Structure 1
Amino acid sequence: MTMPPVFILAIESSCDDTAAAVLQNNTVLSNVVANQLIHNEFGGVVPELASRAHQQNIVPVIDAALKKANISKEQLSAIAFTQGPGLMGSLLVGSSFAKSLSLALQIPLIAVNHMHAHILAHFIDEVGFDQPEFPFLALTISGGHTQIVVVRDFFDMEIIGETTDDAVGEAFDKSAKILGLPYPGGPLIDKYAQLGNPKAFPFTKPRVPGLNFSFSGLKTAILYFVQKKVAENPDFIEENRDDICASIQHTIVEILMDKLKMAVKETGINRIAIGGGVSANSGIRKTLKEAEEKYGWKTFIPKFEYTTDNAAMIGIVGYQKYLHQKFENTAVVSKARIQF
């Protein structure tokens, strides 16, 4: 007997993007994201402004997702939403809407860990993208997180390494700020790095035991380096922008790769999947692809639209939880920090 299709409406509102997606089983029918450009003038996300913008965006975004998927809300099997981690005010907008809609439609409510979703985005059915076999190592790299995770199953994951201070996305953005680049600066460093010499300016890599990361020391080293050079030559940044960006990116990628190599050696697992906003970085993608030939790894890089915060990744976790009947009642609470 063939199972009827499962339609999941997924809502993501952990930070400053309001997103909604509709999945039919593990296939994305729609994936809509409303960005909040207002934060650019402040040089970072302002939590109060983010939650207000979510309130304005959530109804039109969900309406657009349903229309694009060409299904009615009555056809939905369940509502999945981001429970955390994230900004509390932003999370509450998404969870409140999800709870109300699940009650109104009398369909199951599914809570999703945002970081699990970045990892399981690889299981969205997309032509030309392979899905990793269990177990695999996930490198989740974003503005708020840097983690190496052993993924044994859809719901069996263990963090074996993480940052002790700044996340890798912060390291990119704060380095960009030092260079006077506008927010968000990470993508601009990537853009200019492709034009520069990655070995022009050697930066010392922090020594952190085990599989953990640290980026605050590197950020400080970049600050002092730039200040010293600008004192000698006020036009230093302008004259060397591409080389500085290439050198910063090269150092950060090397830090990530050193820990990944150690993790592969310790676990014996050579299937590597990346996720999170920073996995859109061209230097990281290129180096990971080269690692397939260099070290015999099998690497998995998600479709570009599933790297930054999006609701399709929430939906794929929602689908797996639906299959396993992992539902919540309306007493479920949003959490700015959440156990992995």
Structure 2
Amino acid sequence: MRVLGIETSCDETGVAIFDTAANAGQGVLLADALYSQIAMHAEYGGVVPELASRDHTRKLLPLISEVLIQAGLSRRDLDGIAYTAGPGLVGALMVGASTAHGMARALGIPVLGVHHMEGHLLAPMLEEQAPEFPFVALLVSGGHTQLVAVEGLGRYRLLGESVDDAAGEAFDKAAKMLDLAYPGGPQVAKLAESGEASRFRFPRPMTDRPGLDFSFSGLKTHTLTAIRKLEAAGELDEQARADVARAFEEAVVDTLVIKCRRALDQTGLKRLVVAGGVSANQRLRERLDHETAKRGARAFYPRGRFCTDNGAMIAYVGAQRLAAGERDQPGIMQAVPRWPLDRLSVPAAVA
């Protein structure tokens, strides 16, 4: 089954084609393409929803043509279409939904709206050494920080989540405090490379109490207070900014690692999947690799370009669910700005 995947949930237009029958039935990604709107939104310091929707409209069809050419296919060779139905910006979601439904109706093939975070959750399945079920997943991005116990497709149990800012959102806000460009995560990590680890120690929020929930708003406030103190003393030079960035990054990474360690201990599982934009952070990967190895466990990550939003993860998830018989109702598009991951259905074919 050759499935076209469309991702338009926020500020990246992603398109890909996944073939479930290739590679001895293991499936293979035939082509993928991505257009990022980062340069456009950087001027505003964050995503402008209306501009995002308009840019998806401009870029989506050319990207679909591009991946078809990459894969050596025509539209008539497609067997199904999957699109991101949520969560996300409703206008941006509607661009992908309407395009997917229009194409599917014209081609006479099934179409399905899928969950954006399920895409991230299963993105490591696109790698050569993919994890097996069950596993613990850390979903860590600009909009979500969640720990999930994963037993199989659609079998997700929420273990903990952020009660306020997501980790990626905290990175973006710290970047603004440090006068860094948008998006903030990569900029803070780059600045932190030259920071002195011993100069500041920021709090590791909610690690001094049991549980697997996260909170990063207090860390954000602590960071702002440190910066203002340095400014007041006339000491906020480039090295001080790097030291603050290092302390902030260390605090976020330590917090995520501590919670992942607890989740593995609590569930008794030996596989940890880490996905979402923040999963590209090298300090986080190094720490999690070390911690899982100490426990006889292993961490799995998507490749760099599949950490952020992309069409490949949507094509993969859509292919699994379409192959299991799921479909959108004819003429009914889905665009769900808020959609809890643990409310997803288990396909009847795999239940």
In the superposition, the TM-score normalised over structure 1's length comes to 0.94
The answer to which of 237-246 and 277-286 deviates more is 237-246
- Matching residue of 1:46: 48
Question: Superposition pairs for residues 73-152 of structure 1, below 5 Å?
Answer: 73-124=75-126, 126-127=127-128, 130-152=129-151
Deviation of 1:278 (Å): 0.8
Give the aligned partner of residue 312 of structure 2: 312
Tell me which residue corresponds to 1:230. Answer: 231
Supply the distance in 2 between the matched residues of 1:172 and 1:227 (Cα, whole angstroms).
18
Mapping 1:181-260, distance limit 5 Å? 181-207=180-206, 209-233=210-234, 235-260=235-260
Does residue 7 of structure 1 match 2:9? no
Q: Summarize deviations over 1:228-269 as a string: whole Å, max 9, x none.
A: 111002x42423232221111111001111111111121111
Give me the whole-angstrom Cα distance separating, in 1, the residues matched to 2:298 and 2:40.
40
**Partner Cα separation in structure 1 for residue 192 and residue 140 of structure 2:** 19
Percentage of identical aligned residues: 42
**Counterpart contact for 1:142–1:167, Cα < 8 Å:** yes
Which of 16, 39, 45 is 1:21 aligned to? 16
| Deviating more after overlay: 280-289 vs 7-16 | 280-289
Q: Cα deviation per residue 1:56-101 (whole Å; 9 max; x = unaligned)? A: 1111111111111111000001000000000000000000000000
Contact 1:86–1:337 (8 Å) recurs in 2: yes
Deviations 1:282-322 (A, max 9, x none): 11111111123323221111111111000000011011112
SS at match of 1:8: strand
Query: In 1, Cα distance between the equivalents of 2:248 and 2:108?
Result: 51
**Aligned position for 2:336:** 335
TM-fit CA distance, 1:186 = 1.0
The answer (yes or no) to whether the contact 2:3–2:82 under 8 Å persists in 1 is yes
Equivalences for residues 252-271 of structure 1 within 5 A: 252-271=252-271
- Once residues 64 and 109 of structure 1 are traced to their aligned partners in structure 2, the CA distance between those partners, rounded to angstroms, is 20
Give the Å deviation of 1:209: 4.8
CA contact (8 A) 2:15 2:32 kept: yes
Quote how far apart the aligned CAs of 1:13 are: 0.1
| Aligned-partner Cα distance in 2 for 1:294–1:200 | 28
Structure 1 residues 258 and 292: CA distance shift in structure 2, 3 A = closer
Q: Over residues 132-180 of structure 1, what are the superposed CA-to-partner deviations in whole Å (9 max), with x where a residue is unaligned?
A: 1211000000000000000000111111100000000011110111011
1:323 is displaced (CA, Å) by 1.9
- Counterpart residue type for residue 272 of structure 2: I
Letter in 1 for 2:163: T
Q: Tell me, what secondary structure is at the counterpart of 2:43?
A: helix
Of 49-58 and 322-331, deviating more is 322-331
Q: CA deviation at 1:187?
A: 0.2
Q: Which moved more, 1:206-215 or 1:48-57?
A: 206-215
Check conservation: 1:14, 1:85, Cα contact below 8 A: yes
Whole-angstrom CA distance in 2 between matches of 1:43 and 1:203 = 25
Structure 2 residue runs of 5 or longer lacking an equivalent are: 21-26, 342-351
RMSD: 1.2
Q: Structure 2 length normalisation: TM-score?
A: 0.92
1:21–1:28: 8 Å Cα contact kept in structure 2?
A: yes
Q: Is the 8 A contact 1:198 1:249 kept in 2?
A: no
CA distance in 1, matches of 2:225, 2:185: 19
| Partner Cα distance (2:270, 2:171) in 1 | 27
Amino acid at match of 1:67: I
Match of 1:283 in 2: 283
Q: Is the 8 A contact 2:98 2:333 kept in 1?
A: no
Rounded to whole Å, the distance in 2 between the matches of 1:181 and 1:237 is: 14
Residue number in structure 2 paired with 1:168: 167
- Unpaired stretches in structure 1, ≥5 consecutive residues: 1-5
1:232 partner amino acid: A
